[in-house]
Amino acid sequence: MIRKFDLNLMIMFAGILLGGGLGFISWVFQRESKPLSNLQLFQVFDQSMGYPATDFELETLTGDVVRLSQYQGKPVLINFWATWCGPCQVEMPLIQEFYQKYASEMEVLAVDYDEPIADVRTFIDKFGFSFPVILDPGGKIADQYQVRGFPSTFFIDREGTVRGVYVGSLSRDLIVKYLKKIGVGQ
C-alpha cells in the first residue's frame, strides 16, 4: 500500500524528471539550430522590410547562369518551389499571369528545390510556363534564404531590398499587395 507521503514524493519526482527532460530537449534543439541571419523570422512574421536580398548564382533549365544581382534596378519576385508541391502547382499559373502582365516592370525567378533537371523540365513544359526557372541543387540557396516551407515567395525592390515574404500559395490579392510593395503595378 502506497502512503500519501510516498505518492506525493513519486509525483514530485516524476515532475522533476519530466521538466528536466523537456529542458534538456529544448537545450539540444537550441544548440543544433542554425544561427539566424538577417532573414530570421521572415516566413512567420514578415519582418523582412529593409534587408538586402542575398545574392546567388544558379543555372537555368537552359544552362544559362543567373545572378540575382544582375537584376539590380528591377523588382524581382523569387519563388521557391518544387514539382511535388501541391500549393506550388496551384499558384504557378497565377505567377505566370503576373509575369506576362508585368514582364517589362519586374522579373520572376522560380527557384526549384533540389530536383532532377528532367523532372523540372517536364513539369514546366507540360504547363507552358515562360518565366525563368532556375535549379537549386542541394537546396543551398533555399537554405541561405531560410526557406522552411513551399512555396515561399520573396519580393525584392529595385534596390535589392526584400520588402515582403509569403509562405504558402499566393492568391491574386496577395500578389497584388506584395507587388505594390516593390513598386510594380502602381
Residues 115-124, mean pLDDT to the nearest whole number = 97
pLDDT per position as a tens digit, 16-58: 554 544 444 443 344 333 333 334 333 444 444 679 999 999 9
pLDDT per position as a tens digit, 56-89: 999 999 999 999 999 999 999 999 999 999 999 9
Confidence of residue 2 (pLDDT cuts 50, 70, 90): low
pLDDT of residue 50: 76
* DSSP-derived secondary structure for the chain: ---HHHHHHHHHHHHHHHHHHHHHHHHHHHHHSPPP-TTTTHHHH---TTEEPPP-EEEETTS-EEEGGGGTTS-EEEEEE-TT-HHHHHHHHHHHHHHHHTTTT-EEEEEEES--HHHHHHHHHHHT--S-EEEEGGGHHHHHTT--SSSEEEEE-TTSEEEEEEESPPPHHHHHHHHHHTT---
Q: Domain-by-domain residue ranges, the chain?
A: 1-33, 42-181
CATH homologous superfamily of 42-181 = Glutaredoxin (3.40.30.10)
Answer yes or no: is pLDDT of 95 > 80.
Answer: yes
Q: Which residue has the cell 506550388?
A: 88
pLDDT per position as a tens digit, 146-169: 999 999 999 999 999 999 999 999
Confidence of residue 14 (pLDDT cuts 50, 70, 90): low
* pTM metric for this prediction: 0.75
